[in-house]
Homo-oligomer: A and B are copies of this chain.
Amino acid sequence: MNKQVLLADQIVSAIHSVVGAGPVNLHEPSFTGNEWLYVKECLDSTFVSSVGKFSDRFEDDLVAYTGAKHAVAVVNGTAALHIALMLAGVKPNDEVLVPALTFIATANAISYCSAIPHFVDSEEATLGMATDKLRDYLQSHTHQKSGQCVNISTGKVIRAMVPMHTYGHPVDINGLLAVAHDFNIAIVEDAAESLGSTYHGQHTGTFGLMGTLSFNGNKTITTGGGGAIITNDVSIARRAKHITTTAKLPHAWEFIHDEIGYNYRLPNLNAALGCAQLEQLPEKLIAKRSLFDLYKVAFELLEGFKLLVEPAQCHSNYWLQTIILNADQAHHRDDILKATNESGLMTRPVWRLMHQLKPFAKCPRMDLTMAEQLAQRLINIPSSPNLLKIVE
């Protein structure tokens, strides 16, 4: 009991030494650039809705920033995933590989396609999909049929995989691309958390057929609610734009829609906020990295856990700063969560694993030992880019 209290207390003190007395949120947005200017311009122009210069500009700015050839802004990251999966060819009753360790949106979007999430284990270095384990699993549990990967147990086609860059740390995407290639599986990258993160110098979300971004209020930059699909494929980009804008054909006055589309366009008002936020992304990333450095120093002499570090040859946005308890300290997780939150420091564990949630309990899955271990060991600590100002 004493040691347990000690570890929790040590962590509380160390975090306070970095972020000040608090209370401190896990992650909050800050608007210190052109937000007012652009939002006001948006109101003054009256173009707040589905048409407007900021919607177009935000897409152009995302292209310029990520290096993807095309970007389509949508109402949120979930909508981006939904459409990306559709355009990756996911059909009703297909299976889609997805980490058990993810936010529920990844799995929900699969359900919106009437497809079935198939859960994959994680690896400790990246917290993302475990490449080698996945390859072995697919080797023994699937066969190829007419160029498709078929789950031997269920007989269903495994159409796509959705690796997620957890907390902003790039997944082993090259490894996964090789697996996807070898087994004829499309990749949609869930880069909701990793805007600003690169893998071998290339922006996350630009490796797969499509990548999806989120600009929810808790993300590194925000549009209130918003997301985007990024892709290098022009025909996919055009389809994404069409289908997210009710599939209406261009005409001066006629309303003709050639397929069942969605009302997923990001409003110009939200895009205006996004343009201003994106201008500040580089400085936010610097601030987040500095915060990491301060935590590193503060935790240096403590034992029983470590601060999560970006994978080799990767540059992480450090969206959520994360401590990972040593395996033999996992039983202290809830005490640490309790002590930090009671002390005004908002912390949280990883999301409840997908296969442990009622709606997905019966979905197919591989052995998830590492994800289950990680779920007991991971704790996110305050990560806002503006935290440094408190201690300046």
Contacts and interface: CB of A to CB of B under 8 A. Distances in A.
Interface of A: 28-31, 35-36, 39-40, 43-44, 46-51, 75-79, 103-105, 108, 111, 114, 216-218, 222, 224-225, 246-248, 252-263, 265-270, 273, 337, 341, 347-349, 351-352, 357-359
A321 B267 CA distance: 25
Contact of A270 (B50, B216, B258, B267): B267
A261 B28 CA distance: 24
A265 B348 CA distance: 22
B259 A352 contact: no
Contact of A50 (B217, B248, B347): B217
Nearest to A43: B31
Given A39-B39, A49-B217, A257-B359, 14 more contacts: A35-B43, A36-B40, A36-B43, A49-B218, A49-B225, A50-B216, A75-B225, A225-B266, A254-B348, A254-B352, A255-B352, A256-B357, A259-B359, A269-B270
Contact of A43 (B28, B39, B337): B39
Contact of A255 (B257, B260, B351): B351
Contacts of A252: 341
Contacts of A103: 255
A46 B75 contact: no
